[in-house]
C-alpha cells in the first residue's frame, strides 16, 4: 500500500479508502468483518461510513453499518487504533427522537445529537473525520462551524470533511473558516471516474488550490468500469450500469477493455489507478464484497499509467477539456 496526507492536514492515510456502504445491506456482518480484517492486512487505514448506511427492510435507514463497524472494533487486537475512521451526518436515521429536526438537513441541534448516536454505534469516543454528507443551504456557516468546533474542542471529532459539495460551496465555506481562525475542511468526498469527469472543471482544481483532499466515490461508475458491465456478472449496480448501454456505450467499454488487456491490468484497477494519478486525489473508495476483492483492488496503487495510456483513456472517455474557464473559453 502507498500512503499520503489527507489534504493539507498532517494526517497520513492510505491511498485506498475502504467503503462500507454495503455492510448490513448486501454484505452480512460476518463477511464485513472479514473484509475489514483483510483491508488492514493490505495496509488500508481509512474506513468510510455514514450514520445513514445500513438498511433494514421496510424501516428505512438505521445506522446498522456503524453498528457492524463498532462490533468489529470491539473484537480488539488494535483494530480501532489502526483505523482512520470517517463517518457522515446529514440524512435521517432511526433515532429515539422524531419531528422536523430529525429530517434531512443540518443544524447545530442535529449535529450534536447525531455525533452521539454515531459514537455509541461505533463503540468509540471519537471519529477522525466527520463529514457533512451534503451541502446545507439554509443554516449559516456560523451555526454549523460553531457546532463542529465544539465537537473538535471536546475531542469527539479530529478533522472536518465535506461531501457532494460544489466548488463554490467549498470556497465559500473555507473563506468563512479562515475568518474564524478554523482549519475548515481537509477533504471533499465526490463522485469522479473516467465516466464522470465534470469535477475536472471546477471541483478538483478548487480542492488542489485549497489543500482539500478529494476522496472519490463511485470510481468504477457503479460497475461500468469494473470489467463485467457487458456480461452482467458484476452485481446489481454494475448490471444496471451495463444494461442501459447503447451501441456507442458498448463500443466505448469494449475499447476500454481492449486497452486494459493490452497493458496487462484489469479494467477495475486501471480505473482506480487513473484516479490516483490526479494530484488533487487522496484516494478512491472501494466497495469490495469479498476479502479477495480487497486484495485485488489494493494492487491498483502500484500501477503507474504512462502518458500514452493516459492519452488513450482520454480518447475513450473524453473529459470536459480541462479546468474552467480554459475548457470553454480563452
- Ramachandran sector of residue 255 (left: φ over 0; alpha: ψ -120 to 50; beta: rest): alpha
53 as an active site residue: the answer is yes
H, E, C per residue of 290-314: CHHHHHHHHHHHHCCCCHHHHHHHH
120: Cβ contacts below 8 Å, ≥ 6 apart: none
275: Cβ contacts below 8 Å, ≥ 6 apart: 192, 193, 216, 219, 281, 284
Rounded-to-integer distance, Cα 218 and Cα 201, Å: 18
Marked catalytic residue, from 53, 90, 130, 192: 53
Within the chain, residue ranges assigned H as helices are 29-41, 64-73, 79-82, 108-122, 141-153, 167-180, 203-210, 236-243, 247-263, 267-276, 291-298, 307-316
Rounded-to-integer distance, Cα 161 and Cα 173, Å: 11
Catalytic sites, residue numbers: 53
Amino acid at each position: 500500500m502507498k500512503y499520503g496526507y489527507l489534504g493539507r492536514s498532517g494526517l497520513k492515510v492510505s491511498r485506498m479508502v475502504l467503503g462500507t456502504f454495503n455492510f448490513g445491506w448486501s454484505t452480512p456482518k460476518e463477511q464485513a468483518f472479514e473484509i475489514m480484517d483483510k483491508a488492514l492486512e493490505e495496509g488500508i487505514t481509512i474506513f468510510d461510513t455514514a450514520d445513514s448506511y445500513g438498511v433494514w427492510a421496510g424501516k428505512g435507514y438505521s445506522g446498522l453499518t456503524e453498528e457492524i463497524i463498532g462490533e468489529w472494533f470491539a473484537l480488539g487486537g488494535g483494530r480501532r487504533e489502526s483505523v482512520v475512521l470517517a463517518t457522515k451526518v446529514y440524512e435521517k436515521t432511526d433515532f429515539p427522537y422524531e419531528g422536523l429536526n430529525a429530517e434531512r438537513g443540518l443544524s447545530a441541534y442535529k449535529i450534536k445529537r447525531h455525533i452521539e448516536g454515531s459514537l455509541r454505534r461505533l463503540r468509540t469516543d471519537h471519529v477522525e473525520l466527520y463529514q457533512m454528507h451534503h451541502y446545507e443551504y439554509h443554516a449559516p456557516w456560523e451555526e454549523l462551524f460553531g457546532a463542529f468546533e465544539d465537537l473538535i474542542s471536546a475531542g469527539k471529532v479530529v478533522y472536518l470533511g465535506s461531501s457532494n459539495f460544489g466548488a463554490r460551496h467549498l470556497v465559500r465555506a473555507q473563506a468563512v473558516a479562515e475568518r474564524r481562525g478554523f482549519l475548515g475542511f481537509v477533504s471533499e468526498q465526490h463522485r469522479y471516474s473516467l465516466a464522470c469527469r465534470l469535477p475536472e472543471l471546477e471541483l478538483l482544481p478548487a480542492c488542489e488550490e485549497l489543500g482539500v483532499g478529494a476522496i472519490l466515490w463511485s470510481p468504477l461508475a457503479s460497475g461500468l468500469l469494473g470489467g463485467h458491465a457487458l456480461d452482467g456478472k458484476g452485481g446489481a449496480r454494475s448490471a444496471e450500469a451495463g444494461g442501459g448501454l447503447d451501441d456507442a456505450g458498448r463500443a466505448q467499454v469494449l475499447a476500454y477493455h481492449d486497452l486494459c488487456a493490452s497493458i496487462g491490468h484489469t479494467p477495475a484497477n486501471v480505473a482506480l489507478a487513473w484516479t490516483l494519478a490526479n494530484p488533487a486525489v487522496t484516494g478512491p473508495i472501494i466497495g469490495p464484497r469479498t476479502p479477495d476483492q480487497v486484495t485485488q483492488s489494493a494492487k491498483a496503487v502500484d500501477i503507474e499509467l504512462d502518458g500514452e495510456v493516459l492519452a488513450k483513456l482520454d480518447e475513450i472517455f473524453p473529459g470536459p477539456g480541462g479546468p474552467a474557464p480554459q475548457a470553454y473559453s480563452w
